[in-house]
Amino acid sequence: MRTVFSALALTILFVAGSVQALLAEVDVPPSEFRFPLISPRHENMQRLLINAMGYLQPGHGLVDPVSGYPVEGWNQEPERGLYLRSFTQLTAIGEQLELLASIAAGYADNPYVSRAQALSQIERMASSLLIDQSDPTLSAGGLLGNFLGLEATGRIGPLSEEVRKHQFVELFGDERANQIWTALIADGWIVPLPEGSYATITRKENYGDTFFPDELASIIDSDARARIMAVLDARVVQIIFGDNANLTASVAKAIGALLHPSIADDPEVAGLRNKLERFIAHQDAGYRQLYDESSGTFYFGWNATHDRYTGWNDGNGNWIIGHMDYFVNEFRGPLTFVAQRFALPTDVIKNNGFKIKPYRMADGRDVYSLATWNGSAFESLGLSLFMGELDAPGWRENLQNSVDIQLDFSRRHKLPGLLSEAYSGNGVEYTGNIGIAEVAVTNLPRITDAPSLYMLGPAYAVAPDSIEQFLADNREQIEGLFTNHGPWEGYNTTLDKPTEVQTAAHTLALILGGIGSAGQNMQRYLAWKGIGPPFDPTGIAVNFLGESVRWIPSNPSGNSIAASRTGNAVHISANAVRRGAVTVQFAQAGGIDLSNGALLIRYRSSQPLTAVMTLVGGPTIFQNEIFLRFDLTDVEKDIRIPMPETPALEGVSELVIRFEDEHKPFAVDLALTRFEFVPAQ
């Protein structure tokens, strides 16, 4: 099988325009692949998935023979610092299970793993998960550490990233421990945190027992040296909520695939379902450990070895514990599922805030969508969509807008893929700082020259025709990334070369998103368990320009801003204001529900304006905010803002619209002739 197609061959195939021609090139007949949920007209998505399925070929050695877990990825290149076949991660384990179950259910027939072989591999993986779940060196409360080392004798946990001073005190006493601590700092092996009792471990060059600090040579013997290294290189159980939630949701989707009518009554399949469900059920204690009742959110993670919640130092010696409190990221669907499956309070969803931002399309239109932290497709769409988002009009429109934005940016900048967390092509850099600044929460610069392929799968579930057209438009460059083990990560347009790294999580996400089985599988699981939706949106139409709604100007900088009514319009004006705000107050007791619908605004403005509208009454850490952009126009212009289905939009008591300019006073002359919330029908 050829590894990479030549440009000439691709040109010939493109002209021929047939899957058969592609498959003849790689010696695999088309009849051996079947993706029933993909339109037969979408030849380019079929071609992409056919190539991606090559990752499953047994001869590639991408599955650990002991556990059945997928290795982290293709690249095992010590000279480049890539050891992707020596460990695995929970997200990839879950995706592998999910894909095998989807193969067994007939969603992805292929010549590499038969339906019967898929069931056999699920059996091995399920057994390994139950074993590892009961191993205290790998798991706590039924939740697994986020990374697992793969060895011939079994799995091991990750190396600790931090060390406590008292560990040396217990071994050597105060005086000797202080000497050791000071020497390790001086040699750069550890970096102390301001609080003094903890330090982070820096395993860079000249780290290890062959490079032991000279300062310690005269005061310790070989036995002491071994004990110091044992402390520094201790294995830990580091529980991360997001990774475990990804795994839990994937296991549930695997069970849902095994409930497919074509195999549901098979006794072997029933046994696999029950085995996988036992794994999920045993996670209950761990998720309750990660639930912070005081904030109504999940902790980001928990170092079970040190009994310390994951966080960071604020620079003043205070340990800040991290929480899952921003909703628009790749863990949105898994978090929602975990809350439902373990009957945890809806607050864990409600207390996750979001921001909505406008993006100016190539044709001049503003499209509004939920902003992600880094402006990436991965954080918007996740690894797949399975919690009924595409059945909720508010979510569907948001996701459609997100895909449209990503495609618009890629077309304008000639990117053969979408911007998402990935290997960037700059050495072995893996980073989340890849995205579109206009729809990012962070103000830090974004990397915009490293598109990757894997999010084309999840995006296909939202906008199949648009993704098919994008694949057709970029066919030659995308298929130049094809290998016999699936496509490379992506392409660095600045370096003008492929990013020749391949990870299991991304390759499997491409396949799973493309074959489109996630939603059906999850719905079967929820029905099997009798689990209903976490909340029922009760949004009703609201006219914010109605007589019962109060418009109250406030002037925090002492400047004069006015909000006056004229018929069915509200006019906001100020001659020179640096900071000004208008509060929109509702008469309804308990506020209003703006979930699952759209905000519709019609306006005229005498100058370009930006504003931030805060929805009061929801989350407090990350408040729900909408960034508004008004163009200079004396003709009425419309803004449409899709609102997602989430309990965070229940009980909105008021809207605060802020106009701000930190540098100089500016004028406001804005007429709002329509401002209403319309719930989805």
pLDDT in tens, 87-96: 999 999 999 9
Query: What is the per-residue pLDDT for 12?
Result: 29
In the chain, pLDDT over 90 holds for what percent of residues? 76
93 in a structural domain: yes
156 in a structural domain: no
pLDDT in tens, 311-321: 887 777 678 89
- Residue type (1 letter), 279: F
Same domain, 262 and 276: yes
- Would you say residue 348 has pLDDT above 70? yes
Mean pLDDT of 427-446: 97
Q: What is the DSSP string of 594-627?
A: --SEEEEEEEEESS-EEEEEEEETS-SSS--EEE
Contact 253, 529 (CB under 8 A): no
Q: Where are the alpha helices (DSSP H) in 446-493?
A: 456-462, 464-473, 475-479
315 in a structural domain: yes
Same domain, 244 and 362: no
Q: What is the DSSP letter of 62?
A: -
In the chain, pLDDT over 70 holds for what percent of residues? 94
Query: What is the per-residue pLDDT for 618?
Result: 86
Least confident interval from 405-409, 484-488, 581-585, 596-600: 581-585
Q: Give the global pTM.
A: 0.91
**Nearest one of 169, 175, 135 to 155, comparing CA atoms:** 135
Instruction: Look at residues 288, 323, 353 and tell me which one is the last residue of a structural domain.
Output: 353
Same domain, 241 and 347: yes
Same domain, 403 and 495: yes
40 in a structural domain: no
520 in a structural domain: no
Q: Which domain holds residue 393?
A: 355-502
Angstrom distance (rounded) from CA 410 to CA 448: 9
268 in a structural domain: yes
Query: What is the per-residue pLDDT for 570?
Result: 95
Contact 534, 114 (CB under 8 A): no
Same domain, 258 and 399: no
Same domain, 457 and 389: yes
Query: What is the per-residue pLDDT for 518?
Result: 98
440 in a structural domain: yes
Angstrom distance (rounded) from CA 259 to CA 113: 19
CB-neighbour burial class of residue 536 (10 A; exposed 0-12, middle 13-18, buried 19+): exposed
Contact 138, 132 (CB under 8 A): yes
Angstrom distance (rounded) from CA 394 to CA 401: 11
Same domain, 262 and 142: yes
Phi, then psi, of 438 in degrees rounded to 5: -65, -25
Number of domains in the chain: 5
CB-neighbour burial class of residue 218 (10 A; exposed 0-12, middle 13-18, buried 19+): exposed
Same domain, 363 and 344: no
Same domain, 62 and 137: yes
585 in a structural domain: yes
